[in-house]
C-alpha cells in the first residue's frame, strides 16, 4: 500500500530541487497528453494517476504495463465511476498494475495475457516477503525500502 509522501507540503514538493531520481523520472500520462486519457481525466478530477510504458523484466522478456494509482480514496468504489470504467477498458487491452486503497497492488491483463498478470503478482508477493528493514527499495531509488514512498526524506 502506498502512503502520502512526507515531502509534500501545501505548496507542493518541499524538496523539489533535490527530489529523488524516481520523482524526476516520473511522467504523468495525463500531463504528457497520452491518447488513452481525455481532458476530464486529470488526476485530481479522475481520482487516478497513470504512468504508461512502465516495463519490468520477466525472464528474458520485458513486459510493458500501465501503472495506475488510486490517488483519491474511494475513486474506484463507485461501480458507475469513470475511474472504474477506465481501468476496466484499459485492462482489456494492456497489462495493468493497479495500486488502490481497497485493492492493494493487483495485476490485471487481457485474457490472452493473464499468465503475465499471474506471474507478476507472484513476483510482487515475493518482493514484499523479501523486503527486510534496511533493504534497498526495489523501485531503484537507492533509498531503504521503508523510507522510500513511505514519507521519510
Binding site for ligand SF4 (CB under 6 A): 5, 7-8, 13, 15, 19, 23
What is d(CA 42, CA 58) in angstroms, rounded to the nearest whole number?
31
Nearer to ligand SF4, 5 or 87 (CB): 5
What is d(CA 110, CA 12) in angstroms, rounded to the nearest whole number?
36
Min dist CB 22 to ligand SF4, Å, is: 7
CB 82 within 8 A of CB 66: no
Min dist CB 67 to ligand SF4, Å, is: 14
Instruction: Compute the Cα dihedral for 26, 31, 32, 33 and give only its sign.
Output: positive
Min dist CB 5 to ligand SF4, Å, is: 3
Nearer to ligand SF4, 135 or 152 (CB): 152
Nearer to ligand SF4, 97 or 149 (CB): 149
Strands 96-100 and 104-108, bridge-based pairing: antiparallel
Amino acid at each position: 500500500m502506498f502512503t502520502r509522501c512526507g515531502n509534500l507540503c501545501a505548496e507542493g514538493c518541499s524538496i523539489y530541487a533535490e527530489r529523488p531520481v524516481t520523482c524526476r523520472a516520473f511522467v504523468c500520462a495525463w500531463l504528457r497528453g497520452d491518447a488513452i486519457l481525455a481532458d476530464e481525466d486529470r488526476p485530481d478530477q479522475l481520482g487516478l494517476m497513470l504512468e504508461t510504458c512502465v516495463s519490468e523484466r520477466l525472464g528474458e522478456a520485458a513486459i510493458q504495463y500501465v501503472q495506475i494509482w488510486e490517488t483519491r480514496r474511494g475513486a474506484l468504489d463507485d461501480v458507475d465511476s469513470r475511474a472504474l470504467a477506465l481501468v476496466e477498458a484499459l485492462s482489456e487491452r494492456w497489462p495493468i498494475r493497479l495500486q488502490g486503497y481497497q485493492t492493494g497492488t493487483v495485476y490485471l491483463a487481457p485474457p490472452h495475457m493473464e499468465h503475465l498478470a499471474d506471474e507478476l503478482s507472484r513476483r510482487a508477493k515475493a518482493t514484499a516477503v523479501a523486503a527486510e528493514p534496511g533493504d534497498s527499495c526495489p523501485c531503484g531509488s537507492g533509498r531503504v525500502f521503508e523510507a522510500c514512498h513511505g514519507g521519510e526524506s
